[in-house]
Structure 1
């Protein structure tokens, strides 16, 4: 059993611990005797059908989990967790993700990742529906992502900003090694086994934008010139969080539409190419069976080739939240603290707008100017970027 920390737990570290504790209890009482997962899957827009490949399943709706948002607001995201076996591998499938553009703070966007880490997941397969920047890619192509470009994160919209949870990972993690080249070889083997090689692409670079608006033509041109192959409104925060806490990552982007570039033709021609969420879901539906088969074969190879067994178990996370000091009226980074047992609530200073304004008014003028400039730059990076899920 993990030894308790002597220092208090920061309030922002509480939600995922509460959620993981609840989920463990539900799995222990499940009639299907669900195993703790070693493989995790996050389903992109319209890709919730991936969970149908699991056997011996246990389902937990998001709305029942302490610390979780009550529902997903985006069409194509179901809002439930499914546990079961995928090709014999204990697996957890998150049917629906949380997006920053929905108004969630970043620690909520990556909440599923931290829950998976607390449950013992070693490998995470992140899927998404994305726009195609690379002119050689076609709608329906499945791209294995091996790098990313995230302008909003350079502007400060990052899940690692704030106090660092040392139980999850280091304060300053590298990102150059976030994607494992061995996994790319595994994706190639899986696609070859299934006869899908004609539309499975490798060495892709995913560009993360904040959304919810789709990208302008100038933004698409900029991202393409930066080396981008696909663009969307999710995934990178989850990858950064997973890499930070030691989970191995595999990322698959399904190209659902080609983005509009400045040289694509006259106005009338461009109107028919405008992106829409309905177009995204339609493209996903046409390729969902192949995506499901590919992920299932990847899971089989992870087990058959001994990859999962070769990965060391990650250190257990201490899920005790009795170490935290929370006032009953305060909130945890956008989450309802009524989920914390009353006997574990004690008075603490809350992070409120009054205290922020007081700090600004008492700060030296040059600090206010510099801080305002950084906020403005960050806002511009976030606001000018489009989106996809």
Structure 2
């Protein structure tokens, strides 16, 4: 797509949204993308003012088709009156969308005024010390699809959105990460859920990764990967275990989308913390 086309389409979508929003909601400060099972974060948004707009109504906006992704934008306020927009339902490359379409909503959010974006998703732990339901704060990533040429910035550059060669050595803002650690200490009510920092590996899906692929990603330095639990099972077990025991071992490492949604739902409940997701003193500033 030509840069003018990308920019003009995003402008049209942003203008459509602003024309249907209360003036107080037209310039969200923070955008939050809710991943699988995390749509419950919408419950933390204040009741008034508040506006929901389905993706199907927005010009040029791709549609979400995956279970657990409602497919709507939610505008409102969080915590100490922080104006936000939530993408309740992510878009995925594996649904058949192009990389350009998957990233199109982020361009629209930028034109709406959002300067900070919080991305969430249900990911699988590769690090042996991570447990199901733990929170991982990303400090780096491995974009395998991008390294292979499936990159959202491939083609003519949309100069209105940024430079041709953006540096990514500091893609995950240090001050925001500090803010998360401070907020976690102040507002978490979980006795068992832990917060880690780690490296995220992106693979395209929709099949869950094989055990060999998980081992490879771990060796590359990844701590989490999209939607995949920690695999286990050693060769010697094949020689000494019964059929029933082996089935239990295999099931322990097998991916299950229902479990992904449930883990995300429970994490969202802990993250909601009534109306104090952005407590005073931790307000995200320009």
Q: Which bin holds the TM-score, normalised by the shorter protein?
A: 0.7 to 0.9
Of the three residues 217, 220, 223, the one matched with 1:223 is 217
- SS across alignment from 2:53: strand
**Equivalent of 2:30 in 39, 44, 53:** 39
User: Which residue of the partner structure matches residue 42 of structure 2?
Assistant: 51
Deviations 1:325-372 (A, max 9, x none): xxxxxxxxxxxxxxxxxxxxxxxxxxxxxxxxxxxxxxxxxxxxxxxx
Cα drift, residue 293 of structure 1: 2.9
Structure 1 unmatched runs, 5+: 1-7, 234-256, 312-389
TM-score of the pair, normalised by structure 2: 0.88
| Residue 174 of structure 2: aligned partner | 181
CA distance in 2, matches of 1:72, 1:207: 22
Q: Does 1:299 align with 2:270?
A: no
| Matched position secondary structure for 1:51 | helix
Structure 2: gaps of 5 or more residues: 239-245
| CA distance 1:262–1:182, shift in 2 (3 Å) | same
Corresponding residue SS for 1:91? strand
Higher Cα radius of gyration: 1
The equivalent residue for 1:75 is: 67
Partners in 2 of 1:146 and 1:89 — Cα distance?
Answer: 24
Q: For residue 10 of structure 1, what is the aligned residue in structure 2?
A: 4
**Equivalent position to 2:194, from 197, 200, 211:** 200
Which residue in 2 is equivalent to 1:154?
147
Cα contact 1:62–1:80 (8 A) shared by 2: yes
Alpha-carbon contact 1:89-1:300 (below 8 Å) kept: no
Q: Give the 3-state SS of the residue equivalent to 1:299 in structure 2.
A: coil
* Partner SS for 2:120: strand
Compute the RMSD of aligned alpha carbons.
2.2
Report the Cα offset of residue 278 of structure 1. 1.0
Any residues of structure 2 matched to 1:1-389 within 5 Å, and which? Answer: 10-27=4-21, 30=22, 33-55=24-46, 56=48, 57-69=50-62, 71-87=63-79, 88-195=81-188, 196=190, 199-232=193-226, 258-261=229-232, 263=234, 265-266=237-238, 267-268=246-247, 269-293=249-273, 297=276, 299-300=278-279, 304-305=281-282, 307-308=284-285, 311=286
Shift of 1:262: 5.3
CA contact (8 A) 2:7 2:158 kept: yes
- 1:106: Cα distance to partner? 1.0
Per the TM alignment, residue 271 of structure 1 is displaced from its structure 2 partner at its CA by 3.1
Deviation at 1:307? 4.0
Work out the CA distance in 1 between the residues paired with 2:215 and 2:14.
42
Does structure 1 retain, via aligned residues, the 8 Å contact 2:37–2:263? no
Describe the SS at the equivalent of 1:66: coil
